[in-house]
Amino acid sequence: MNTTNILNELNILYIFENDILDDDYYKKIKSNVSKFFATNETSEILDIYKEMKPDIIITEINEEIIKSLEEIRNQDFYQPIVVLTEKFEKDYMLKSFELGLNNYILKPVDEENLFIKIESVARKWLVRKKNIQKRVILQSILDNQSGLTILTDFKSISFASKSFLSFYNITSIDGFFTLYDEFLHMFSINEKYISGQTKDEFLEKYKNSKAINKVVLLLGKNFQPKAFHINIDKIKSYKEDDLYLISMTNISIMQEQNIEISYKAYIDNLTGIYNRNKFEEVYNYEYLKFTRVGIKFCIAILDIDHFKKFNDTFGHLIGDEILKIMAKTVNENTRKIDTFARWGGEEFVLLMPATNIDGAKNLCENLRAKIEKIVHPIASKITCSFGITQINESDSLDSLFKRCDEALYNAKANGRNRVEIN
């Protein structure tokens, strides 16, 4: 870009202190710029400045003009200002430097020197103007994103979308760091979500996560946890630290829907415990572990004693109550690693991972004793019989259940309210 093209883009506000405008300077500058306005009315300088929004102010200097320039500096610290002066007084020069004036030109000056000075200021101004335009464009793009979008080096935040500020109920990026001491603290620590103590740790977890698992947990303005799918793009930066464009899409509603679907798929409607679908899924997982690394497990079938009699005598509503009471008692007294499910009717199944047959029998004896203590207000005492078996190398689910059924039959035949193994 040559000098003429640079000057042709400029809007210049020229402030002079005398009653008569210096025609030579006026003509030299006006003929080479896009827009030019001159004034010596100090009372009008601020109004003209606000209306004109000049790219560069070229000004002579006195006490009244300095006051106006101070006001302009308060409004725009980066406004380019060039001083034309014949004054060598120390106070004026110091005041000029305090105002951060971009350049000064001592009168008289020749035309070439004048425009070299103006061009130097103009080049810096153009760089800044283009950077501002880029920031405005970027901010506009971010603000039109439906999700939360930020530009960060994982220490500070360069840009943030309106949706990001709104999520945290803040008005500026500075407000974010009143909520969190460090950038990474915004990501809640949870084993199901990506988080990290350092940038490298966070990015490594992100990199190694499958697309469906690239999810973070944030606490918004109401301190309610919300799940967001996160996307991170590294972008070029002139800074020493890399910059990353992070986009986060709220998937909390989707997760809630998935949880609801999963609940319906895996939970028994009557008792609220797992159903057959969930049990078979866990069995397949445990069976795979057994075939790969030899970790054995046990399965038990539980059957409520004389359940048909309860239904025939007291009706199906009482029968349903008994099923729910028994299921709740067992569910509250099993280990976290166990899977307890309703198989159908009055029959329940219990899968006990990493457990041998003796351990399984002890666990089921404890459950049997807990159930025996249940007294229904109408149906009275409730008991259960248990049939247990342990996985073998040649087993399938059908063969396991066959042995469990045989053990359960023996428990019934031997007087019920018993635990038998096979």
Where is the domain boundary, 231, 253, 275?
Answer: 253
For residue 225, cis peptide bond before it (omega within 30 degrees of 0): no
Question: Are 196 and 129 members of one domain?
Answer: no
Six token digits for residue 97: 């430097």
Q: In this structure, is residue 292 part of a structural domain?
A: yes
Q: Which residue has the tokens 């009244």?
A: 64
Does residue 373 sit in helix, strand or coil? coil
Q: With beta carbons less than 8 A apart as the criterion, state whether 211 and 193 touch.
A: no
DSSP, collapsed to helix, strand or coil, labels residue 174 as helix
The answer to whether residue 108 is domain-embedded is yes
Q: What is the pLDDT of residue 1?
A: 41
Q: For residue 71, give both structure tokens.
A: 């006001």
Q: Is 346 a catalytic residue?
A: yes
Same domain membership, residue 92 and residue 22: yes
Question: What are the angstrom distances between the C-alpha of 233 and each of 119, 149, 248, 274?
Answer: 38, 11, 12, 41
Residues 234 and 380 in one domain: no
247 & 271 share domain = no
Residue 83 lies in a domain: yes
C-alpha dist (Å) from residue 300 to 97, 167, 194: 88, 50, 38
Residue 212, pLDDT score:
83
Question: How many angstroms separate the CA atoms of 79 and 52, rounded?
Answer: 13
Residues 70 and 191 in one domain: no
Same domain for 301 and 240: no
Question: Could you tell me if 223 and 358 lie in one domain?
Answer: no
- Beta bridge partners of residue 68, listed in sequence order: none
- How far is it between the farthest Cα atoms of the chain? 122
Which has the closest alpha carbon to 187: 205, 212, 211? 205
The Cα–Cα gap between 393 and 292 comes to 11
For the whole model, what pTM was predicted? 0.45
Q: Are residues 39 and 165 in the same domain?
A: no
* Alpha-carbon gap, residue 325 to 337, rounded angstroms: 22
Give the domain CATH number at 393: 3.30.70.270
Catalytic hit among 119, 286, 346, 420:
346
Give the pLDDT score at 142: 63
Q: Whose structure tokens read 């070299």?
A: 116
Q: Other CB atoms closer than 10 Å to residue 188's CB: what's the count?
A: 14
Q: Say which DSSP state 81 is in.
A: E
The three state secondary structure string of 102-158 is CEEEECCCCHHHHHHHHHHHHHHHHHHHHHHHHHHHHHHHHHCCCCEEEEECCCCEE
Q: Are residues 216 and 325 in the same domain?
A: no
Paired sense of beta strands 225-235 and 347-353, if any: unpaired
Which of 133, 165, 188 is the last residue before a domain boundary? 133
Question: Is 261 domain-assigned?
Answer: no
Beta bridge partners of 317: none
Per-residue pLDDT at 139: 64
Tell me if 82 is assigned to some domain. Answer: yes
Place of tokens 């609940």: 263
E-strand stretches of 55-109: 56-59, 81-85, 103-106
Strand order, beta sheet including 347-353 = 339-344, 347-353, 297-304, 384-390, 419-421
Q: Which range marks the domain in which residue 371 is found?
A: 267-421
Q: Is residue 84 part of a domain?
A: yes
Count the Cβ atoms, other than its own, within 10 Å of residue 200: 10
Does 260 reside within a domain?
no
The helix/strand/coil state of 369 is helix
Q: What is the pLDDT along the chain (422 residues), one digit of tens a residue?
A: 445 567 777 888 988 887 666 566 677 778 878 888 888 888 888 999 988 888 888 888 788 888 888 888 888 877 888 887 765 556 666 666 666 665 667 676 666 777 777 787 878 777 777 777 776 776 676 666 668 989 899 999 988 888 899 899 999 999 999 899 899 999 988 888 999 999 999 999 999 998 888 999 898 877 778 889 999 998 876 556 789 999 998 887 766 566 555 666 788 889 989 998 889 989 998 998 898 888 999 999 999 999 998 888 999 999 999 999 999 999 999 998 999 999 988 899 999 999 999 999 999 999 999 999 999 999 989 999 999 999 998 888 899 999 999 999 999 999 999 999 99
Residues 228 and 186 grouped into a single domain: yes
Residue at a domain's end among 253, 283, 310: 253
157 in the same domain as 61:
no
Domain count, the chain: 3
Which amino acid does the sequence have at 307?
F
Amino acid found at 282: V
Count of positions (residues) in the chain: 422
Whether 262 maps to a domain, the answer reads: no
Phi, psi at 304, each rounded to 5°: -70, 125
Residue 112 sits in the same domain as residue 86: yes
Distances from the Cα of 97 to the Cαs of 68, 81, 102, 117, 265, in angstroms? 15, 11, 9, 17, 74
Looking up residue 96, the CATH number of its domain turns out to be 3.40.50.2300
Is the distance from CB of 397 to CB of 408 less than 8 angstroms? no
Name the strand (E) or helix (H) holding 225: strand 225-235
pLDDT at 25: 65
* Structure tokens belonging to residue 392: 């073998």
Q: For position 193, which CATH number holds?
A: 3.30.450.20
How far is residue 202's CA from residue 235's CA, in Å, rounded to a whole number? 17
